[in-house]
Structure 1
Amino acid sequence: MASAPLARALAPAKINLALHVVGRRPDGYHSLDSLVVFAAFGDMIEAVPAAPVATPLAIEGPFAAGLAAGSDNLVLRAAMIFAAHYPGAAIPPLRLEKNLPLASGIGGGSADGAATLRLLAALNGIRDESGLAACAMKLGADGPMCLASRPLRARGIGEALTAWEGLPPFHMVLANPGIGVSTPAVFRRLERPDNPPLPDALPVFRDAAALAAFLEAATRNDLAGPARLEAPVIAAVEDRLAASPGCLFARMSGSGATVFGLFPDSESARRAAATLEEQHASWWLRPVALAAPSVGAVSRTG
């Protein structure tokens, strides 16, 4: 039987409602302009008591089989970065409950690493936003936004963050056709790296329908076309989700292959996910709510 955790932190799924690739830097990184939200669902990171034969990281959950507890695992990498930045900090054994598909464009690994930083900071009584942000940046471009885990406009390579206030309530269905997509492979297929950015000023949305209309008319995911070339099934997922009753808008998130559908309420999202699950048993489908501002909080259980 697994030991009861000392504390836990949710690593929420990150959804790119829009992702504009607006340039390429001399160092090879692409400059982005993106609108990001987080779901009230994701992986879970737990600190557990040390066992007689303790391992630094145990991995459980529906997608555990595809993930190794090696040095490239972002949970372990985050723990090592934290230990180097805060010498003497206690680093307990960790457990990852892997609920999100791998290589799916919804920030799973980066969210896991960022949640690990939040968890270790809470356990060690560290309240150092700038230090934790520096640690998160070492996880990769998505690290800082996953550390924040709130609606954001992300620019640069993902490190220039602005809070995105005043979003209306809405729900989503996340749909993945059961495949992973390589982000480098998608970027290699990108024909134009200097696309127009998002509008300078973002409007205030009266409801989910207004948000969907704005996303349709004024935003893009510049990686969607390249990702469909890598995995043509993505187009079918988008079409089926967009055709679901109640769906206001559908688009691929990040570099794929997960697609989100925007819904005005939880019931229409739940019905759409249930119907698609009946029709596509191999797809991963999840109705989710928009995360509350407290999604990044660490809960102590021991």
Structure 2
Amino acid sequence: MTTLTLPSPAKLNLFLHIVGRRPDGYHELQTLFQFLDYGDDLTFTLTPEQPGVRLAESLPDVPDDDNLILRAARLLAAQAKHPLLGVTIAVTKRLPMGGGLGGGSSNAATVLVGLNHLWALGLSEDRLAELGLSLGADVPVFVRGRAAFAEGVGERLTPANPPEDWFVVLKPPCNINTGKIFSEQGLTRDTPKIKIRPAFEGDASRYRNDCEDVVRGLYPEVNQSLEWLSQFGPARLTGTGACIFGRFPTESAARIIWESKPSGITGFVAQGVNQSPLHTKLTEPK
């Protein structure tokens, strides 16, 4: 096989609690990750005549040295014990950058998993997750490919099975600086720890996104979008935003709300899935 196209799915933080702050300044989190059946696609083309790792086309406003796709591919190539075929990676980008959907982390994980497969490196899932963590805290959950309750900075994962409901995901017209949110004085950093739950058991008000109040105060576009979507049921920020989501029991219910969204807001409708579409693709019969 010389060409392979693999999905790079979005994730949602179904809740995000900040339970403390470490001496190194990083925040201790508890969150529930679930994948969506929507995301980017990466196409890998092996190039025996041209060694090295390259993009078919650079991403706008992302220097190659900062691009997680190239960084992941080079990191993986350094693990090889024999010369590797070159590879060109083409990106079909659907996920908004800086939206809280994990697009860059997902891209990095798809590179690690996909090239480990294509290059026949035989690295274990644990080793790939370890490499992924060096690229970003959210990369390991995409490498492992299972919905999970996450702790620490997001790297300690326990598989979970939240309901595979449908979601309306909206991207308000603003970009959010994650560092700014986590440095805000008003950010809640002492939410009591909870024990793992397989889903939202009991009182749903116990679960929230601790970044949401700060983001709503700083970004009126997010606040307005949350107020609009909350008319139809609970709506929440994912990660530090800017994307927000509402949960619905059926695709038709989600699409009715989607069709009535305010102008100027982009987004999509997708189903939550507990196995990553990346892993589903790699394990389906040839």
TM-score normalised according to structure 2 size: 0.89
**AA aligned opposite 1:229:** G
CA contact (8 A) 2:34 2:274 kept: no
Q: Runs of 5+ in structure 2 lacking a partner?
A: none
Match of 1:23 in 2: 20
Match of 1:290 in 2: 272
Cα separation, 1, equivalents of 2:53 and 2:74: 14
Cα separation, 2, equivalents of 1:214 and 1:148: 29
CA contact (8 A) 2:125 2:144 kept: no
Decide which of 74, 77, 81 is 2:71's aligned counterpart. 77
Q: 1:285: Cα distance to partner?
A: 1.8
CA contact (8 A) 2:39 2:94 kept: yes
* Percentage of pairs with the same residue: 30
Q: Runs of 5+ in structure 1 lacking a partner?
A: 206-210
Q: What is the RMSD of the two structures over their aligned residues, measured on CA atoms?
A: 2.6
Cα separation, 1, equivalents of 2:69 and 2:17: 28
- State whether structure 2 residue 171 is matched by structure 1 residue 183: no
User: Deviation digits for residues 31-87 of structure 1, max 9, x if unmatched?
Assistant: 101111110001111102549889701348xxx5x4435110010011111112234
Q: 1:218 to 1:17 in 2, by over 3 A?
A: same
Q: 1:225: Cα distance to partner?
A: 1.5
Q: 1:257: Cα distance to partner?
A: 0.5
Cα separation, 1, equivalents of 2:187 and 2:72: 33
- State whether structure 2 residue 262 is matched by structure 1 residue 265: no
Decide which of 189, 195, 201 is 2:190's aligned counterpart. 195
Match of 1:37 in 2: 34
Match of 1:152 in 2: 148
TM-score normalised according to structure 1 size: 0.84
Q: 1:228 to 1:47 in 2, by over 3 A?
A: same
Match of 2:239 in 1: 254
CA contact (8 A) 1:37 1:149 kept: no
Instruction: Report the 3-state secondary structure (helix = DSSP H, G, I; strand = E; otherwise coil) of the residue aligned with 2:30.
Output: strand
Q: How many residues are matched?
A: 280
Match of 1:94 in 2: 89
Match of 1:208 in 2: none
Cα separation, 1, equivalents of 2:137 and 2:47: 32
Q: 1:127: Cα distance to partner?
A: 4.6
Match of 1:131 in 2: 127
Decide which of 238, 241, 244 is 2:226's aligned counterpart. 238
Cα separation, 2, equivalents of 1:91 and 1:134: 24
User: Deviation digits for residues 172-210 of structure 1, max 9, x if unmatched?
Assistant: 0110013221100111115355322453141x56xxxxx
Q: 1:231: Cα distance to partner?
A: 1.3
Instruction: Report the 3-state secondary structure (helix = DSSP H, G, I; strand = E; otherwise coil) of the residue aligned with 2:87.
Output: coil
**AA aligned opposite 1:130:** D
Cα separation, 1, equivalents of 2:145 and 2:173: 25
